[in-house]
Amino acid sequence: MTTAVRQARPAQPTLEMVAAEAGVSRATVSRVVNGSTRVSPEIVAAVNAAIDRLHYVPNRAARSLANRQTQAVALVVPEDMTRFFGDPYFAAVVQGITRRLEESDYTLNLLVASSDPRHKTMRYLRSGSADGALIVSHHTGDEFVAELESTMPAVFGGRPSAADTTAYFVDVDNAAGAETGTQHLLDLGRRRIGSITGPVDMPAGIDRLAGFLRTLERAGLATDAIEHADFTAAGAAAATRRLLERCPDVDALFVASDLMATGVLDVLREQGRAVPRDVAIVGFDDSPAATSAAVPLTTVSQPSEEMGFAMADMLLRLLSGDTGVPHRTIMPTYLVVRDSA
């Protein structure tokens, strides 16, 4: 009868073992691991070489207790789950954020904070569960967002309220993008141009409507063919029915998002209106919804994934103590012409 011999698992390298290997004190190793600038480059090199040789992995939990950092950032989305998972814009932004965080030691916590649990979101963030926050799809009435800004470093995806001049944010020039899309409809010879807008309590919805109105006013055209929606396909479909009942002679629509434009297309098809022959459509985003729509959408393209990457990069710089971070980063938009206009 043989007896199996269970080999002892090799001891996990410790801070003391790294210190002995590098010929320095434990406190010095701790300073190097935690990124202190009070250590000479030569000592840093020696400690890092010892870490590599021993395959030492710092204890994140212990480091968190020592320096009060969680190595986590929160993505706060003041929307309901249906909208978050149904809009391809959010998927692109999250992809960009995670691509940047993969280059760091930080992990991402997702907080989809619809109207009811927002107090729970703030309680979670005040507890020190994250070092910083990324906020997307915020509304002007979101009072908890201002409270969040005062709690921790925060970066907005999209321009915050006009009154907040100190916020850090990444955005596109939504008004200029809307002007580009509306001008394209004018260049096609359309003169009864309407719009299905985004929510007027969101900066993106406000700015895209402003760009649309400015373009029509310059052309001396009527600006009454407008209905407000909520950045969902269902909301846009309902708004389109209201608009066509009020203004049946519209021959073009600027729609404030591609997802909403898919709802517009459904209603036009129901009513026997051909796109673009009877009604030309320009969307906004250049998301997968634009290319998968029943009629591929002409749309104003915004770099949603790159915006997410830039947001995460801005927050990581703030968390590192970088004092040269610009408060705003504005990315370009451009028109992508497809079949709808």
List, for residues 236-287, the tens digit of each pLDDT value. 999 999 999 999 999 999 999 999 999 999 999 999 999 999 999 999 999 9
pLDDT bucket at 103, cuts 50 / 70 / 90 = confident
Cα distance between residue 249 and residue 230, in whole Å: 24
Break the chain into its structural domains and give their ranges: 15-67, 72-172+304-331, 174-302
User: If you ran DSSP here, which 8-state letter would residue 337 be given?
Assistant: -
> DSSP 3-state assignment of 223?
coil
**Percent of the chain scoring above 70 in pLDDT:** 87
> Do 72-172+304-331 and 174-302 fold alike per CATH?
yes
> DSSP 3-state assignment of 113?
coil
Cα distance between residue 142 and residue 148, in whole Å: 10
Convert the pLDDT of each residue in 166-218 to its tens digit: 889 999 999 999 999 999 999 999 999 999 999 998 899 999 999 999 999 99
CA distances from 193 to 15, 112, 185, 219, 223 (A): 68, 36, 8, 11, 8
> DSSP 3-state assignment of 227?
strand
Exposed, middle or buried, 220 (CB in 10 Å: 0-12/13-18/19+)? Answer: exposed
- ω before 288 within 30° of 0 (cis)? no
Cα distance between residue 323 and residue 193, in whole Å: 46
CATH topology assigned to domain 15-67:
434 Repressor (Amino-terminal Domain) (1.10.260)
Q: Options 3.90.25.10, 3.40.50.2300, 3.40.50.10260, 1.10.287.110; which CATH number does 72-172+304-331 get?
A: 3.40.50.2300
pLDDT of residue 143: 67
Please provide the average confidence, as pLDDT, over all residues in the chain: 86
Cα distance between residue 184 and residue 254, in whole Å: 10
Given a cut of 50, whether residue 152 has pLDDT beyond it is yes
Report the sign of the C-alpha dihedral through residues 270, 275, 278, 283, in that order.
Answer: positive
Second CATH level (architecture) for the domain 174-302: 3-Layer(aba) Sandwich (3.40)
Closest CA to 148 of 223, 236, 77, 222: 77
**Distance, C-alpha 159 to centroid of its chain:** 11
Helix (H) / strand (E) element for 168: namely strand 168-172
Query: What is the 3-state composition of the chain as percent helix, strand, coil, each rounded to the nearest 5?
Result: 45, 15, 40
